[in-house]
Amino acid sequence: MSYGYEMDAGENQGISNRQLALIFGISIVGIFIVFALFIFPIQNLFPETITEQVTIISKSDGECVVNSQDHPRGISNCNYNMGDKLQITYKYGTAPIETHKKIN
């Protein structure tokens, strides 16, 4: 019985090396996308910049402390007084204050 399909003994059978490399590459890219979206979100690489108004709650040895949304932060070489209101800018989840200025 013949199905109209004959295999020549010299024909290449299976998947070629090029196809294997393509499948491997697509798999690696897929794994990277899954990790980037669900395991380690890409937005964590570029934290959000936050600007808020705070009040100096303490000052000691030239360092002022303000209470921001997430935790207290220090300002070195501070020339403000306790109770002064400031506008500060910082990256969410990081400790340092990027900019600060006194407001009325």
pTM (whole model) above 0.85: no
Per-residue pLDDT of the chain (104 residues; tens, 9 = 90+): 556 655 555 555 788 999 999 999 999 999 988 887 777 766 667 778 999 999 999 999 989 999 998 889 999 999 999 999 999 999 888 889 999 999 97
Q: What is the pLDDT of residue 11?
A: 55
**3-class SS at 79?**
coil
Q: What domains lie within the chain, and their CATH numbers?
A: 49-102 (2.40.50)
Instruction: Work out whether the CA dihedral 95, 97, 102, 104 comes out positive or negative.
Output: negative
CB contact set of 27 (below 8 Å; sequence gap of 6+): none
CB contact set of 22 (below 8 Å; sequence gap of 6+): none
Q: What is the pLDDT of residue 3?
A: 64
Q: CA-CA distance, 58 to 68, in Å (whole number)? A: 13
CB contact set of 7 (below 8 Å; sequence gap of 6+): 13
